[in-house]
Chains A and B, each alone.
Chain A
């Protein structure tokens, strides 16, 4: 029979639908594997827990042997750091904490200080990362997408072909018979409405908007140069072949024009600007409800 796993993890709601045949014992095994994989990821990359690897790195400079899954994630951050001229950086961690987006969700902003540059802090390679000074790394912009890929990888490894891994509206959809999935694009101004529908097949879609995870003058994206949250864009969605790419680029689009990202990545995107106008790539798979 098909399987459905619904749970809360890494601060969001997960729904994994598997349409392949799975015996109940295999469902149990699969669910356990997924949970273990998520737990390992959280243990390494969550800045919301004091016993994580990134929390240890926030305490002490030195050389850190990173887990094998670190390289794709850090390589993505490094490239986007370059393409956005430092606007998208994992070193934003301390800024988010000072703004109040901390482990206790205090949401009480203190004085913000600009984070150091990548080169000042990070050296070495992504297997043995040299931290020149203690730094709180934040992987909030791409970590969830990457984790969705890793979970989807478990399903694929076990021979499953038709499934959707959805974590809080960011998702990977795999369909052996190439059936498409219709994904509503939530209007950030009125969450009961969709501004359009994306249609994806064997692709990932991620969205980012400033309407939720917002407090005071901030939302979850903060520009390290201006120490403010971008306001000219209300929401961004990206469709790509990997969830890591889709997730990372939704944040990058808050900082740079899509053309800047085109040189390195294949993706389709939609933006909703503050004046409610829509910008989208010509090839974005879907329809929009425009006036």
Chain B
């Protein structure tokens, strides 16, 4: 879906289609991989027993059984994982006190929490002493080295890197737990 620098020609030829079909089929059949389809399933197991000498070279292992697909347990109903976050999403404010050389001062902090993460913060100066006012203003001007993202869809990109994309099995498991947690 994202582009390489040079445009990739003809995605819709017969051969490309076959690749896509093959890979989609494989993806449907097993979570773990593309090499699984052409191997005979009943070959010897790969376990490398202790003291055994080098048997795990590339050619022997290429003939191993296909990876087992991940078991999906549909029978379990009791799930103990708490997906609940520690903090409720929302905006919170608090006034903090400290003692400056000029005496006690306050500063107000407003935090917006989402999924236990601080996604926005505002600091409001409440200082009374002149020197404290200057210090707080300086702090407010510089504390917020926050990153403002840009919409990925609006950027001209070849690729995106981040957390591993489409961890299918994992996300399915999370979905199941969330569904169970709501029930």
Contact = CB atoms under 8 A, between A and B. Distances in A.
Query: Is chain A's binding surface mostly helix, strand, loop or mixed?
Result: mixed
Interface residues of B, number: 90
A4 B8 contact: yes
Interface residues of A, number: 114
A179 B5 CA distance: 8
B53 A105 contact: no
Interface string B10-35: 11010110011011001100011111
A121 interface: no
Contacts of A34: 34
The binding surface of chain B is classed by DSSP as: loop
Contact of B168 (A8, A31, A198, A234): A8
B49 A60 contact: yes
B32 A11 contact: yes
Nearest to A290: B147
B144 A291 contact: yes
A42 B32 contact: yes
Contacts of B36: 39
Contact of A65 (B6, B55, B118, B151): B55
Interface in A1-32: 1-14, 17, 19, 24, 27-28, 31-32
A65 B167 contact: no
Given A56-B49, A62-B49, A275-B118, A44 B56 contact: yes
A251 interface: no
A207 B162 contact: yes
A193 B149 contact: yes
B145 A290 contact: yes
A277 B32 contact: no
A237 B31 CA distance: 26
A182 interface: yes
A103 interface: yes
For the complex of A and B, list the 9 residue pairs with the smallest distance between their C-beta atoms, beginning with the closest.
A62-B50, A39-B35, A186-B162, A193-B149, A212-B163, A7-B23, A56-B47, A209-B163, A105-B173
Interface of B: 4-6, 8-11, 13, 15-16, 19-20, 22-23, 26-27, 31-36, 38-39, 45-58, 61-62, 64-68, 70-73, 79-83, 114, 117-119, 121, 144-153, 155-174, 177
16 contacts: A40-B58, A43-B46, A48-B70, A63-B51, A164-B158, A169-B159, A170-B161, A184-B159, A185-B162, A187-B147, A209-B163, A213-B164, A215-B83, A215-B177, A235-B162, A291-B148
